Amino acid sequence: MRSKKFLRAEQAPLLWHAPGLVAGVDEAGRGPLAGPVVAAAVILDDERPIAGLADSKKLTALRRERLYDEIRAKALCVSVAEASVAEIDHLNILQASLLAMRRAVEGLRLKPQRVLVDGNQLPVLDVLAEAVVQGDAKVPAISAASIIAKVTRDRWCEQLERDCPGYGFAQHKGYGTPVHLEALRRLGPTPWHRQSFAPVARCIAERA
């Protein structure tokens, strides 16, 4: 039986704003066929605003990199965590994403009074939390977390391309593009591929 701490938290929207620090949380890497899912939690400093925060998917790679550096320099604290490929295959990608989010919040140097999470589901936390649909486009702290998570995972994929050349990880970032699928058929899966994902499982079965 799966541990209760990984189950989805059901919580009604907060009807008040709890005083104190607010953390934004988002993840990157649910859809790819390879690599960990990465989550970030960010507490922004109201005294040091950051212009141009937005959903990381709507920004250019260069803009994300510049904002990544600015967030790191100006935020009160930033925490990055992940759930491994083994955890994704064992738990499923949703539960692994929630686990990574929980780890990111627990890794913050400062404890927030309130946590805002992108999407419609929550990890189990010991602080007040609310899920915000399209929060990465609405809430600056979630936008910042989205950028940190995305850049962190993209950099991981670029390193994986150096370690496992021929798959094109630096370009497709692990997503199931035609180039990636062709390389998977030709070269076989790496230890970083998610065996619970259908294209990878199919490749393993065909090569058995």
> Residue 139 maps to which CATH number?
3.30.420.10
Tokens describing residue 140 = 């600056």
Q: Give the pLDDT confidence of 29-57 residue by residue, as tens digits.
A: 999 999 999 999 999 999 999 999 999 99
Confirm whether 66 is domain-assigned: yes
Confirm whether 85 is domain-assigned: yes
pLDDT at site 1: 39
pLDDT tier, 17 (very low <50, low <70, confident <90, very high otherwise): low
pLDDT at site 2: 42
Q: Does residue 59 surpass a pLDDT of 60?
A: yes
Q: Does residue 12 surpass a pLDDT of 50?
A: no
Tokens describing residue 62 = 């260069």
Q: Does residue 10 surpass a pLDDT of 60?
A: no
Confirm whether 139 is domain-assigned: yes
Residue 8: Cβ within 10 Å count: 14
Confirm whether 55 is domain-assigned: yes
Question: Radius of gyration (Cα) for the chain, nearest Å?
Answer: 18
Q: Which helix (H) or strand (E) holds 7?
A: none
Written in H, E and C, the secondary structure of 76-106 is CEEEEEEECHHHHHHHCHHHHHHHHHHHHHH
pLDDT tier, 19 (very low <50, low <70, confident <90, very high otherwise): low
Confirm whether 79 is domain-assigned: yes
What percentage of the chain has pLDDT greater than the value 70?
Answer: 91
Q: Note whether 40 and 160 are within 8 A (CB).
A: no
What's the CA gap between 190 and 180, in Å, rounded? Answer: 12
The residues that bridge with 193 in the sheet, in sequence order, are 34
Confirm whether 194 is domain-assigned: no
Selection from 51, 46, 71, 48 nearest residue 147 by Cα: 71
pLDDT at site 156: 98
Selection from 145, 148, 190, 140 nearest residue 32 by Cα: 190
Q: Give the pLDDT confidence of 183-192 residue by residue, as tens digits.
A: 999 999 999 9
Q: Give the pLDDT confidence of 137-160 residue by residue, as tens digits.
A: 999 999 999 999 999 999 999 999
Confirm whether 83 is domain-assigned: yes
pLDDT at site 208: 80
Confirm whether 172 is domain-assigned: no
Q: Number of structural domains, the chain?
A: 1
pLDDT at site 171: 96
Q: Which domain holds residue 117?
A: 4-163
- Name the burial class of residue 178, with classes exposed (0-12), middle (13-18) and buried (19+) by CB atoms within 10 angstroms of its CB: exposed
Q: Give the pLDDT confidence of 82-128 residue by residue, as tens digits.
A: 999 999 999 999 999 999 999 999 999 999 999 999 999 999 999 99
Q: Does residue 162 surpass a pLDDT of 90?
A: yes
Please, what is the average pLDDT of the chain?
Answer: 92
